[in-house]
């Protein structure tokens, strides 16, 4: 059996090359990649500057951008000055309208006119990218809008943001990946149980993002996945608070570095204080799914805060609040008595974006957070839970007073201006928030060099060393759950029946997997299970949101995309390798017992699966989720407690007496990985 080896030295070379290329682009010189320019530091930033619209001011051999075009070097333009001095100077020059615009982040306009309106007229300097352009095209477009921003009154640059865009996925949820990715899903990264790999991923992705001019991430989603029916389990790191915390630390340090700098991507860790305890798994984008639920005493502090504390300790730049509402009737004791709203009311019954106890008392005062709070999308409108009776200016005012600095997916700052004009806020109330946002911009080096080189962006994206490391991650993420009949690995010449169960996408995905399997000269794909030596069946279900809105359904059925009767028929016909893509911990007791072998995937490349099936890689992954024993276990689960910690016998147990619990995984020696 051939086993792939890690190539950490190659990854280090790739990261070094990426950083060197970015330095080269920033310097605007012909310096060789192996000898990047010397960036002298002052005020925490490099002195290599580029202006495409405004003049350059020269003082001796030093250059500065004249961002307001007044012909003199102002404090905020002087990279030699401390950042806090530069920020204070710029805030003092900004109008109320410019400050209100700074506190909004919206999606890039659908048309150039939209973007011109957002940046030029409404003074919005934070734009979210929600598409998947090629890296070279992305960099070209971002440069175009940075030129426009440079031409505005104060020349404040744009911060381009994106949701995660580096992962394989086929079932898009709200945590969408806006670009085709090479890496396994986030659950897959967790399943590798390899923190060095996670750090490599973050550093490789950082180089790719920075080279394209994307400097802020709406991620990662580190909510502890304690409710198995939640439709966003797919984009968490699973149900383990300690593992999620360890991963979070590596992600923040990998994307940001020890401190934000010109080669950093600022992280926005979400959704504080933890979106996992979603009532019956319902979708909080809808009113019927708005409720957080903490029925287990102490669960908030015991299980849900650890990843966020890890992010704070690593120096995360921003944190996103969730918008689930609190209903005290659903909650057991969680908060210190001194934090209660009254003797009878523990939580203020509003979304976290409006909850001062959550954002200020807990996050900032108790956990030590120094960055800024970014709301989730929609909290001013459709997901304004608990504040439905407030006017728009009143919602802005309450959120700012709770601790919010920037409002997501809002392209009109007028409501915030109205809050000031109506006396609900003062202009001075905005200043600390504007200062936090500008501090991030200065630390990222955007006031000196907001531009990137498109050709370099494409080169960095295509580095073979990076692709090789992502391939390793895909293989490491696969978990072997059962192989008691020793059907795996499938060796030698075999006839194979292949089928994918993925709801409406079943036929398309089956054809693709058949084509891939057929590239192996020792395997012959046959049309029926009866003709085969072995069957390869890959289940790729998706959560079914019941029209009754009583709970989200994760039982395998045609509703979730799986024809259980057909799966059982295949298993009864030939030895079946049953592969289950665990975007959620599905109820699998209808299909697991009669499989010859069972494998778990977490949004991976199909060729990585075949490497495991054919024995080219010895599976090493561990479950990041506990699989429930049956529907009764799901019905009785505590939404705020991870599956491994449930107070009853929650986990599925196979006929080999193994429990599919968090941390379980076999190798081809049939031993449980410790």
Q: Which residues pair with 539 in a beta bridge?
A: 501, 580
CB neighbours (10 Å) of residue 159? 23
Contacts of 657 (CB under 8 A, 6+ apart): none
CA R_g for the chain: 26
Phi, psi of 483 (to 5 degrees): -150, 40
DSSP structural state of residue 388? T
Give CA torsion, residues 210, 211, 213, 214, to 10 deg. Answer: -40
Tokens 């659950």 identify what position? 187
Catalytic residue among 78, 376, 418, 640: 376
- Chain centroid to Cα 630, Å, comes to 30
Q: How far is the CA of 448 from the CAs of 45, 55, 57, 159, 620, in angstroms?
A: 8, 13, 12, 13, 46
Give CA torsion, residues 63, 68, 71, 75, to 10 deg. Answer: -60
Catalogue the E-assigned strands of 144-196. 159-162
What is the C-alpha to C-alpha distance for residues 240 and 645, in angstroms, rounded to an integer?
A: 10
Tokens of 66: 């004249």
CB neighbours (10 Å) of residue 484? 14
SS3 state of residue 378: coil
- Chain centroid to Cα 387, Å, comes to 28
Any catalytic annotation for residue 376? yes
What is the C-alpha to C-alpha distance for residues 645 and 36, in angstroms, rounded to an integer?
A: 51
**Which are the catalytic amino acids?**
376
């Amino acid at each position: 059996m051939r086993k792939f080896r890690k190539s950490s030295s190659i990854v280090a070379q790739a990261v070094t090359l990426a950083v060197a290329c970015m330095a080269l682009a920033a310097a605007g010189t012909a310096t060789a990649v192996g000898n990047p320019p010397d960036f002298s530091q002052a005020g925490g930033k490099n002195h290599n500057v580029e202006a495409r619209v405004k003049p350059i001011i020269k003082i001796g051999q030093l250059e500065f951008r004249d961002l307001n075009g007044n012909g003199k070097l102002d404090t905020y333009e002087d990279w030699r000055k401390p950042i806090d001095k530069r920020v204070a100077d710029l805030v003092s020059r900004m109008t109320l309208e410019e400050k209100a615009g700074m506190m909004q982040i919206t999606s890039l306009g659908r048309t150039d006119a939209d973007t011109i309106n957002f940046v030029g007229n409404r003074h919005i300097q934070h734009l979210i990218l929600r598409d998947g352009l090629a890296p070279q095209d992305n960099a070209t477009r971002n440069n175009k809008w940075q030129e426009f921003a440079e031409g505005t009154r104060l020349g404040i640059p744009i911060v381009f943001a994106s949701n995660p865009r580096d992962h394989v996925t086929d079932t898009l949820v709200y945590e969408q990946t806006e670009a085709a990715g090479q890496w396994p899903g986030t659950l897959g990264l967790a399943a590798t149980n390899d923190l060095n790999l996670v750090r490599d991923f973050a550093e490789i992705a950082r180089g790719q993002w920075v080279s394209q001019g994307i400097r802020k991430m709406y991620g990662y989603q580190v909510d502890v996945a304690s409710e198995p029916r939640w439709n966003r389990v797919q984009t968490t790191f699973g149900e383990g608070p300690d593992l999620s915390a360890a991963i979070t630390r590596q992600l923040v340090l990998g994307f940001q570095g020890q401190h934000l700098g010109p080669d950093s991507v600022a992280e926005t860790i979400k959704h504080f204080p933890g979106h996992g305890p979603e009532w019956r798994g319902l979708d909080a984008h809808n009113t019927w799914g708005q409720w957080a639920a903490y029925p287990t005493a102490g669960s908030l502090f015991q299980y849900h805060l650890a990843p966020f504390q890890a992010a704070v300790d690593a120096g995360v730049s921003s944190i996103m609040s969730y918008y689930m509402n609190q209903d005290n009737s659903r909650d057991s004791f969680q908060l210190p008595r001194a934090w209660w709203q009254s003797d009878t009311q523990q939580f203020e019954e509003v979304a976290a974006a409006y909850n001062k106890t959550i954002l200020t008392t807990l996050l900032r005062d108790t956990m030590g957070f120094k960055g800024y709070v970014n709301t989730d999308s929609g909290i001013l409108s459709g997901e304004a839970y608990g504040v439905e009776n407030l006017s728009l200016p009143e919602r802005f005012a309450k959120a700012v007073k709770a601790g919010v600095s920037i409002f997501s997916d809002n392209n009109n700052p007028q409501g915030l201006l109205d809050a000031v004009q109506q006396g609900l806020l003062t202009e001075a109330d905005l200043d600390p928030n504007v200062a936090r946002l500008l501090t991030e911009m200065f630390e990222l080096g955007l006031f000196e060099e907001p531009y990137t080189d498109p050709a370099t962006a494409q080169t960095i994206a295509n580095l073979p060393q990076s692709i090789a490391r992502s391939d390793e991650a895909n293989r490491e993420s696969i978990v072997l759950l059962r192989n008691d009949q020793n059907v795996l690995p499938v060796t030698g010449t075999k006839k194979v029946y292949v089928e994918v169960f993925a709801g409406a996408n079943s036929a398309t995905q089956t054809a693709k997997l058949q084509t891939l399997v057929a590239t192996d000269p020792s395997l012959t794909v046959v049309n029926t299970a009866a003709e085969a030596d072995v069957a390869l069946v890959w289940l790729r279900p998706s959560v079914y949101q019941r029209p009754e809105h009583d709970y989200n359904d994760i039982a395998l059925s045609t509703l979730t995309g799986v024809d259980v009767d057909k799966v059982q028929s295949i298993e009864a016909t030939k030895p079946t390798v049953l592969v289950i893509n665990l975007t959620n911990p599905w109820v699998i007791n209808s299909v697991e017992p009669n499989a010859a072998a069972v494998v778990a995937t977490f949004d991976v490349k199909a060729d990585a699966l075949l490497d495991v099936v054919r024995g080219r890689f010895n599976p090493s992954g561990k479950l990041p989720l506990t699989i429930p024993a049956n529907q009764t276990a799901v019905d009785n689960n505590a939404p705020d407690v991870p599956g491994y910690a449930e107070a009853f016998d929650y986990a599925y147990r196979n006929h080999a007496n193994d429990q599919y619990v968090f941390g379980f995984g076999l190798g081809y020696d049939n031993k449980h990985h410790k």
